[in-house]
């Protein structure tokens, strides 16, 4: 019978277990050495390749340009007609015909409303008949007065008789003048029975219908006509801008108007009126621009955004407004360098117009600025140009 030997006082099973534990510790140590060696190689590789360590920041860019830029004052205005007419009736009568529809464009002198002309024709005929009768009587009275002159020279009639004939002739002449005025009034009333447009423009809401009786000279208009081309836009500017307005008003500066929410081309007019006093309550000066309005886009009563272009700066250096960032030290832009790094540069912004900033100093035409992604940038940062911003045409 074989008895297992002992190693160092251990049984054969304990000795085998201890040997495996030693081997496992050696294998774990070797794996750790391999991992450390690999990690060191990776870190060393990253240290040699900066691109692998620092990612480029995606940005959008635009070039600083030199172009003519307008100087404009911004305001909000109200469209109003240059002329407006509240059409009424000069005579009373019954409406027999309407010669237009609500909202029609009418011309000055165009017939709008016809009143029943029969009463006015009858009145004219009476006046004409009375005039003809009294003219005949006046002619007879004048002949009697002439005959009386001859008879008085022949001592046939007395002075009193002559004076009576002269007075009768004069009275009949006065009656003829009265009759003539009455006939003219009757003729005018007949003409007034046809109500015509006093101005050219667009008609508004009609307040009467066929068969209605119209009273003469009432305060309520039958219809209102507004001139729709040209039109004016009234707006105000702060009193601080009055010296600029006074300086350039003689050149009749342009007035550009755009309806809120309308993306189409702005309508263009000229400055037509500058008030002679600043409103002490609001501290503003009233101005009016005149617009041809041939396409009838502007309607009286509308609100409209107004730009009064006082002058144009011919060679202004401009960048998109979004390129300018404001910090504790003032305004600055990030300039793109040839090596794809960026440098912050202070700029002096004179003003803004639309979405462009006019730079007085700090940039030259042709330099490239960052327009998007500035918040992730720092001096010397590497960038990746994503797209180039297109400036306005």
pLDDT of residue 216: 92
pLDDT of residue 368: 96
pLDDT digits (tens, 9 = 90+) for 320-373: 999 999 988 899 999 999 999 999 999 999 988 888 999 999 999 999 999 999
HEC profile for the chain? CCCCCCECCECHHHHHHHHHHHHHHHHHHHHHHHHHHHHHHHHHHHHHCHHHHCCCEEEEEEECEEEEEEEEEEEEEEEEECCEEEECCCCCEEEEEECCCCCCEECCCCEEEEECCHHHHHHHHHHHHHHHHHHHHHHHHHHHHHHHHHHHHCCCCCHHHHHHHHHHHHHHHHHHHHHHHHHHHHHHHHHHCEEECCCCEEECCCCCCCCCEECCCCCCCCEEEECCCCEEEEEEEEHHHHHHHHHHHHHCCEEEEECCCCCCCCEEEEEEEEEEEEECCCCEEEEEEEECCCCCCCCCCCEEEEEEEEEEEEEEEEEEHHHCEEECCEEEEEEECCCCEEEEEECEEEEEECCEEEEEECCCCCCEEEEECHHHCCCCCEEEEEEECCCCC
The answer on pLDDT for 52 being more than 70 is no
pLDDT of residue 369: 96
The answer on pLDDT for 23 being more than 70 is no
State the pTM of this model. Answer: 0.67
pLDDT digits (tens, 9 = 90+) for 272-316: 999 999 999 999 999 999 999 999 999 999 999 999 999 999 999
Specify the CATH number of the domain 72-82+228-313.
Answer: 2.40.30.170
pLDDT digits (tens, 9 = 90+) for 86-118: 999 999 999 999 999 999 999 999 999 999 999
Domain ranges of the chain: 57-67+315-388, 72-82+228-313, 86-224
pLDDT of residue 129: 97
Reported confidence tier of residue 21, pLDDT bands at 50, 70, 90: low
pLDDT of residue 390: 52
Reported confidence tier of residue 162, pLDDT bands at 50, 70, 90: confident
Q: What percent of the chain stands above pLDDT 70?
A: 84
Reported confidence tier of residue 152, pLDDT bands at 50, 70, 90: confident
Domain 57-67+315-388 and domain 72-82+228-313, same fold? Reply is no
Specify the CATH number of the domain 86-224.
Answer: 2.40.50.100
pLDDT of residue 134: 93
* The CATH fold of domain 57-67+315-388: 2.40.420
């Amino acid at each position: 019978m074989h008895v297992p030997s002992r190693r160092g006082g251990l049984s054969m099973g304990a000795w085998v277990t201890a040997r495996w534990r030693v081997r496992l510790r050696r294998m774990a140590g070797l794996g750790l050495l391999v991992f450390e060696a690999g990690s060191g190689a990776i870190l060393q590789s990253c240290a040699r390749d900066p691109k692998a360590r620092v990612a480029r920041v995606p940005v959008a860019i635009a070039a600083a340009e030199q172009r003519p830029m307008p100087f404009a004052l911004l305001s909000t205005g109200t469209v109003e007609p240059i002329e407006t007419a509240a059409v009424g009736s000069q005579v009373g009568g019954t409406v027999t015909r309407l010669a237009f529809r609500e909202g029609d464009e009418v011309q000055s002198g165009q017939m709008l409303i016809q009143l029943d002309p029969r009463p006015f024709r009858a009145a004219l005929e009476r006046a004409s008949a009375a005039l003809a009768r009294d003219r005949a009587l006046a002619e007879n009275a004048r002949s009697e007065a002439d005959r009386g002159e001859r008879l008085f020279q022949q001592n046939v009639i007395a002075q009193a008789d002559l004076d009576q004939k002269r007075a009768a002739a004069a009275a009949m002449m006065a009656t003829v003048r009265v009759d003539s005025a009455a006939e003219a009034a009757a003729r005018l009333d007949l003409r007034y029975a046809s109500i015509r447009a006093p101005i050219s423009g667009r008609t508004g809401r009609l307040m009467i219908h066929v068969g209605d009786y119209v009273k003469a000279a009432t305060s309520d208009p039958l219809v209102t006509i507004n001139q729709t081309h040209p039109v004016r836009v009234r707006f105000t500017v702060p009193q601080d801008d009055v010296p600029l307005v006074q300086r350039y008003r003689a050149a009749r500066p342009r007035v550009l108007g755009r309806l809120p929410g309308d993306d189409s081309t702005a309508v263009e007019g000229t400055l037509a009126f500058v008030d002679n006093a600043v409103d002490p309550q609001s501290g503003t000066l009233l101005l009016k621009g005149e617009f041809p309005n041939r396409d009838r886009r502007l309607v009286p009563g509308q609100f409209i955004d107004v730009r009064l272009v006082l002058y144009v700066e011919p060679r202004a250096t401009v960048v998109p407004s979004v390129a300018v960032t404001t910090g504790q030290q003032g305004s600055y832009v990030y300039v793109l360098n040839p090596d794809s790094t960026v440098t912050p540069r202070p700029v002096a912004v004179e003003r803004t117009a639309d979405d462009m900033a006019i730079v007085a100093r700090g940039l030259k035409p042709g330099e490239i600025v960052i327009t998007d992604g500035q918040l992730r940038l720092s001096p010397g940062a590497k960038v990746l140009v994503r797209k180039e911003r297109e400036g306005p045409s």
